[in-house]
Amino acid sequence: MVHIKVTDRATNIQYAIRDVIPYAEQLVKQGREIFYLNIGDPAAFDFAVPPHVKEALCRAVEENVNQYSPSEGLPELREAVARKEKCINKIDITPEEVLVTEGISEGIQMILAALVEKGDEILFPGPTYPPYSSYTRFFNGTPVAYETVESEGWQPNVDDLRKKISDKTRALVIINPNNPTGALYGKKVVKEMLDVAAEHNLLVLSDEIYDQITYGQEFFSTAHLAKDLPVVGFNGFSKVYQMTGWRLGYMYFKGQNGELDRLREAVEKQCRIRLCANTPVQKAGAAALDGPQDYMTEVIEKLNERRDYAWKRLNEIEGISCAKPEGAFYIFPKIHEVGTRWKTDMQFVVDLLKETGVLIVNGSGFDPVYGAGHARAVFLPPVEMLERAFNELERFMKIKKK
């Protein structure tokens, strides 16, 4: 028998959002109904890719636009991204400062591969979107979480952020609106974070894929507020355009006097070794950005209703409380008896799934300190489905009290 050595970096990868799925698959084999509240996939529910985007994809294929494209992205898509960022987020970038990726996740992997050496630290909000911490570890770096405060709607603790900076810190990550908490960081707090980054000459990585999914409060792009501070921005097409399975995203490099040129070139080299992003999908991405945007009014109306219902309903269940999300489509409730009735939040999630079929994600999977004792759920499904799922959750909580 051949002995195959597998690296620790691959063996130790964790991704909580999908790591819970094998538990559900076992129940599906038994014929159980599952309420999938674990993955932020609008296309899995009653949100559809806009018709003009689907038409653009089909047209590209029919017109035989099926070849390899430039590794950095189709020029027309990079130009469309620059126009969109100027129009929506008030950011002045050139198409040459844009790189097209296969979803934001690929961009995160590439930027951390270019930044992180052994022992280097990346600062990110706790709790956070898992790839930031997972890829930092993958490249032998050290993920460091700064506190976000639940009682303040999961807003960043800027004083804690400042304390966490060391001579090994290579970048500050801002995720706004936030996944997993649904927090929206206002202009004042983003400026405060940028001031701290400027004090320490830190690069800022800004994840803004939910920039157009907010509920009443205005979104302010990090790069727009950063002035002379270097920012690498991440965005994509999965959430606003519901193109989740199409895997298309982008990153841009906004700096002064060529300070980000070497970093961009390092990421471009990684783009080359994976050849290119999906060519027909890039054509559709350009159509998405340049085409009608009025469909978003209905999207926000639907999500706003579901957000309000989920927040109210969860807070009515004894033993659960949660802050009101102001962006994205996640809610991050606290499970008060984790540590007593349930040893861990993962045990709570697995027990809930086995008893009720409700699938959510353990909060510690987003950060072992600031996410512990919580769980993340999406409020993407229609209210009728959310009601059924939360009724099952309430029944489960009552069973556990007996």
Q: What is the CATH number of domain 51-290?
A: 3.40.640.10
Q: Extract the tokens encoding 36.
A: 């999938």
Does residue 375 contact residue 321 with C-beta atoms inside 8 Å? no
pTM: 0.93
What is the pLDDT, as a whole number, of residue 121?
A: 97
Query: What are 383-395's pLDDT values in tens digits?
Result: 999 999 999 999 9
* DSSP E strands, 136-184: 142-149, 155-156, 169-175
Phi, psi of 70 (to 5 degrees): -55, 140
Helix (H) or strand (E) holding 98: strand 98-101
Does residue 355 contact residue 396 with C-beta atoms inside 8 Å? yes
- Please state, in angstroms and rounded to a whole number, the distance separating the CA atoms of residues 172 and 205: 6
Query: What are 136-159's pLDDT values in tens digits?
Result: 999 999 999 999 999 999 999 999
Domain 8-48+295-401 class? Answer: alpha beta
CA nearest neighbour of 127 among 347, 393, 362: 362
- Please state, in angstroms and rounded to a whole number, the distance separating the CA atoms of residues 54 and 284: 7
Q: How large is the C-alpha radius of gyration of the chain?
A: 21
Measure the N-to-C terminal CA separation of the chain; round to a whole number of Å. 53
What is the pLDDT, as a whole number, of residue 400?
A: 60
* Residue 401 pLDDT greater than 80, yes or no: no
Percent of the chain with pLDDT over 90: 87
Provide CATH 3.90.1150.10 ranges for the chain: 8-48+295-401
What is the pLDDT, as a whole number, of residue 18?
A: 64
Residues 14-37: what's their mean pLDDT? Answer: 78
Query: What are 269-294's pLDDT values in tens digits?
Result: 999 999 999 999 999 999 999 999 99
- Please state, in angstroms and rounded to a whole number, the distance separating the CA atoms of residues 252 and 85: 10
- Please state, in angstroms and rounded to a whole number, the distance separating the CA atoms of residues 7 and 23: 25
Cα separations in angstroms, 58 against 54, 63, 293, 389: 6, 9, 20, 37
Query: What are 101-134's pLDDT values in tens digits?
Result: 999 999 999 999 999 999 999 999 999 999 999 9
- Please state, in angstroms and rounded to a whole number, the distance separating the CA atoms of residues 202 and 204: 6
Provide CATH 3.40.640.10 ranges for the chain: 51-290
